[in-house]
Amino acid sequence: MKTALTIAGSDCSGGAGIQADIKTMSALKVYAMSVITSAVAENTKGVLSQQPLPASSVSDQLDAVFTDIKPDAVKVGMLPSVECMRVVADKLAFFRPSHVIVDPVMYAKDGTPLMQKDATSEFIRTVLPLATMLTPNIPEAEVITGLKIGTIDDMKEAARRIFDLGIRSVLIKGGHYEGEAVDVFYDGRFTLFECERIATKNTHGTGCTLSSAIAALLARGSAPVEAVRGAKEYITEAIRHSLDIGGGNGPLNHFFDYMGDKKKADYTLYLVTDRGREDRDEDFLSRIEQAIKGGVTTVQLREKTLGAEFFALAKKVRRLTLRYDVPLIINDRVDVALAVNADGVHVGQGDLPCAAVRRLVGDRMMIGVTAHSLTEAIKAQADGADYIGVGAMAGSSTKSDAKVISGDELNGIKCGVNIPIVIIGGINASNIASFKSPQLAGAAVSSAIMRSDDPCKAARELKRLWQE
């Protein structure tokens, strides 16, 4: 088991500091330990007070950790006083951990200073030289270098100056930079990490989380640049799934892979994707996007011909559905559904049993099961399915071997289960209205949208016909 230590302040609201660090390290499968430097009374709205711990207590905590469970990596966060900095620097110099990621925590999210005014020079003199990686944001990099940063080139110059102080690698975080979020990494050569800027106010603890994720991945053996890359991917999803709790800047969802409410799905117009062999990813994604704009309420990614590249495609579709807040269901591939953190997975009668899928995906993820008979529908419900796909309703161009279900069979299923029923197979604008029923949650459509010249218009018309 790999281990990591965080040396930081305590955030009683759980969004930043020690609490965020431990959550991050645990989520990334590293055993987390902590040394508390300050008790900070804060919440999503701001800092009420802070009480630095005595330097002797910090020293004892460090001895307790290093003389028993030596960490594979150390993350250093809030160091509130000169005395605390000296103790931490002395212990790190003595115990010499392989990786020391220093996040120079100078200010809280609300602007409250978290480092004493006279401590900056001491930090640069004693702590900074022990870092194997430094992760300042732009204001912190300006304080350390004395350089005014307004461009990407300025960020590069600041990284170069910090590197020249003897630090092996530097990551200047671009969250304060205008435009797309760009982080500059330098270890003798530059690597720029660009990612989308997610529209959310819930970013409490982002700096703590990123540096802790880097520490965890370094502890697991990643090279520095790959640790940064992996940490960026992790924090992007933690922000994307951030928790809208509290009255201010809410916290990230550090356990987005393991926790969270099950998305409430609207099955009214359920798109089952249909990708032609010659389709470029861009064209395929464009058709899905147009369909969503036309009124598609749930997307199922179904792909029977792709192999390893299916995962890459699923990630792209996931980003698209998150942008429009539409649930994404992965057909058959439970592994891919888990890997891209989809909202659900749909399985047929020849795939993994529903009960086994539920054990794999937990309670957060939706499970849909194809049922052709009342017996199959009742079993799916008993095994934990959230909805049932029933069909085929008519001849289907995407599933030529599909058996058309009779009206009596469909009525039996309607009466026999109390979870949502979505009809599927051969549904188009000419017949969708004939299948409408109060007991049906929606209709799943594939070719009538995906092979249309105008997916947006086709989806809008199908939804109108179903809802009239």
Active-site residue (options: 205, 230, 250, 442): 205
- Residue 250 token pair: 């809410």
Burial of 73 (0-12, 13-18, 19+ CB in 10 A): buried
Active-site residue (options: 14, 15, 207, 230): 207
Is 232 among the catalytic positions?
Answer: no
Active-site residue (options: 84, 208, 354, 456): 208
Is 350 among the catalytic positions?
Answer: no
What is the rounded end-to-end Cα distance, in angstroms, of the chain?
A: 59
**CB of 464 closer than 8 Å to CB of 305:** no
Is 9 among the catalytic positions?
Answer: no
Question: Residues with Cβ < 8 Å from 249, sequence gap 6 or more?
Answer: 44, 45, 109, 201, 202, 203, 204
Active-site residue (options: 173, 232, 379, 463): 173
Task: Quickly list DSSP for 174-209.
Answer: -TTSSSSEEEEEESSSEEEEEE-----S--BTHHHH
Active-site residue (options: 145, 203, 268, 398): 203
**CA distances from residue 181 to 63, 102, 139 in whole angstroms, order as listed:** 39, 21, 15
Report the distance separating Cα 353 and Cα 337, nearest Å. 16
* Diameter over CA atoms, the chain: 81
**φ, ψ at 48 (rounded to 5°):** -90, -40
Report the distance separating Cα 462 and Cα 464, nearest Å. 5
**CB of 363 closer than 8 Å to CB of 394:** no
Active-site residue (options: 6, 206, 370, 398): 206
* Residue whose tokens read 């309607």: 414
* Residue whose tokens read 């020690």: 18
Is 207 among the catalytic positions?
Answer: yes
Report the alpha-carbon angle 340-346-348, nearest 5.
140
Report the distance separating Cα 384 and Cα 378, nearest Å. 10
Q: Is the dihedral of CA 448, 453, 459, 465 positive or negative?
A: negative
Interaxial angle between packed helices 455-467 and 281-294, expressed in degrees from 0 to 180 and rounded to the nearest 10: 30
Describe the strand order of the beta sheet including 181-186 as a list of residue ranges: 47-52, 31-42, 3-11, 73-76, 100-102, 133-134, 169-172, 181-186, 190-195
Is 84 among the catalytic positions?
Answer: no
Is 236 among the catalytic positions?
Answer: no
Enumerate the active-site residues.
173, 203, 205-208
